[in-house]
Amino acid sequence: MFTEEIGIKTGTVNVVTTDNKGLDSDHWADRATNHIISVSQDAPPAIRDQAEAFKENVHKVLRYYIKQAILSERTTICGTLSQQGHDDLAEIIRRM
């Protein structure tokens, strides 16, 4: 005899808010790292420790490159604004 359970599994919903700003690079690095690497709590301690260390390194690399992408995008925006004669706006963005 076979039995099969039918049902709907729901996931976890997390809500993050900010006040007058976007989410920072640490938030996005955390999200990306958690989607890329999942460490089982049932893994043997030595393997779990190694996986956690690897996860931390991946987080640092992601955070660095996300920050670089943000700076690059700001540079592009400042250049475009300056070319259009909006040096005042470009300077405001440059100072952010």
Domain boundaries, the chain: 45-95
Find the distance separating the first CA and the last CA of the chain, reported in whole Å. Answer: 66
Instruction: Give the per-residue pLDDT at 81.
Output: 96
- What residues contact residue 77 under an 8 Å CB cut-off, 6+ apart? 90, 93
pLDDT per residue of the chain (96 residues) written in tens, 0 to 9 = 566 777 777 778 888 888 989 999 999 999 999 999 999 999 999 999 999 999 999 999 999 999 999 999 999 999 999 999 999 999 999 998
Instruction: Give the per-residue pLDDT at 56.
Output: 97
DSSP string, the chain: ------------------SSS---HHHHHHHHHHHH----TTS-HHHHHHHHHHHHHHHHHHHHHHHHHHHHHHHHHHHHHHHTT-HHHHHHHHH-
Instruction: Give the per-residue pLDDT at 82.
Output: 96
Instruction: Give the per-residue pLDDT at 2.
Output: 66
